[in-house]
Amino acid sequence: MNLFELSELVRLDESWKKCTGKGVCIAVIDSGIDASHPKLQGKVVESVEAIVEKDKIKILPSSFTDATGHGTACAGIIVSIAPDVKLHSIKVLGATGANDGRALLAGIEYAIRKRIRLINLSIGTTKPQYFAPLHDLLDKAYQAGCVIVAAANNLPYPSYPSVFSSSLISVRRSEETDPFKFGFHYGETIELTAPGVNINTTWLDGGYRKLTGNSFACPHIVGIIALLLEKFPDLTPFQVKTLLYSIARQNQAREREFI
C-alpha cells in the first residue's frame, strides 16, 4: 500500500481511533513520572535518570517518581488517549525544572539506543551550543525509525529541538478540547496544533491539575500517534508525519464546512 492509499484508508476508515496504543512503547523525556498515581499505575515499565558528573553523563535506574510534576502531567495526557501504551520515564530535569543540555542529549540518545518507537519531548533548550548535537541526534532517531514529537517554546522565540521539523513533529497549543481535532499550523517550523489550554491532567501525590502550555499539546499528538502505530505498526516516521498532516487538513476542512 502506497502513502496515498494509506492516507485515504485512514481518512475513510476511522477505526484506528478505537485503538488503545497496545504494544506501543513511549519514552517521556522529562522530569520523571509519578508511577504511583492511580491513573498511571502499571503503565510505567522503566524509570531512568541522566546523571551529570563533571564531564561524564550516566544513565542510571531511577525511582518511579517525578521531580516537578511536569512529566507526570504529560504522561497522564498520553494515557488518557492511549491507555494501553508502555511508558519509559527518562528523567533529565531537576527539582527546579532547570536542565543541563547534556542530560537532554543523553536522554534522547538512550531512547534511540533502546529503539523506543515514540518519544515525547515537552521540553527543549534555547542554548545554541546544543543546536548541532541535537540536530545530529534527531537525524539518528529518524533513521532508526523513532518518531519524536516536540513542544514549541511557550515564549516568542525558537527553542531546540522543536525547530528541526524535518526530522521530528513539532506542536503548539490550541484552544481545541477534542484531541482528535488537532490542526495544521501554516507558515512556520511548528507544524501541528493540539489541545493545550486548561488541560486537566495527572499531578503529584495522586492529584490532578489544570495546565496550559505547548508542553501539554505535545502529548496529545503522541497519544494519537500511538493509536496509529497500533493499527499500522510498520509506519515510518515520514509516513506518520504525512498521515498526521492529512488528518489535520481533513479536520480543518470539516470545520470550514460548518462556518
Q: What is the pLDDT of residues 108-163, one digit of tens each?
A: 999 999 999 999 999 988 888 998 999 999 999 999 999 999 998 888 777 888 87
User: Which residue among 7, 31, 70, 174 is the active-site one?
Assistant: 70
- For residues 93, 94, 99, 105, the Cα torsion angle rounded to the nearest 10 degrees is -50
Among the listed residues 12, 107, 131, 13, the one whose alpha carbon sits nearest the alpha carbon of residue 57: 107
pLDDT at 259 over 50: no
For range 74-102, the mean pLDDT: 89
170 carries an active-site annotation: no
For range 156-183, the mean pLDDT: 86
100 carries an active-site annotation: no
User: Which residue among 30, 88, 167, 174 is the active-site one?
Assistant: 30
What is the tally of helices (H) and strands (E) in the chain?
A: 6, 11
Length of the chain: 259
167 carries an active-site annotation: no
User: Which residue among 122, 159, 170, 215 is the active-site one?
Assistant: 215
Residue extents of the structural domains in the chain: 3-257
**What homologous superfamily is domain 3-257 in, according to CATH?**
Peptidase S8/S53 domain (3.40.50.200)
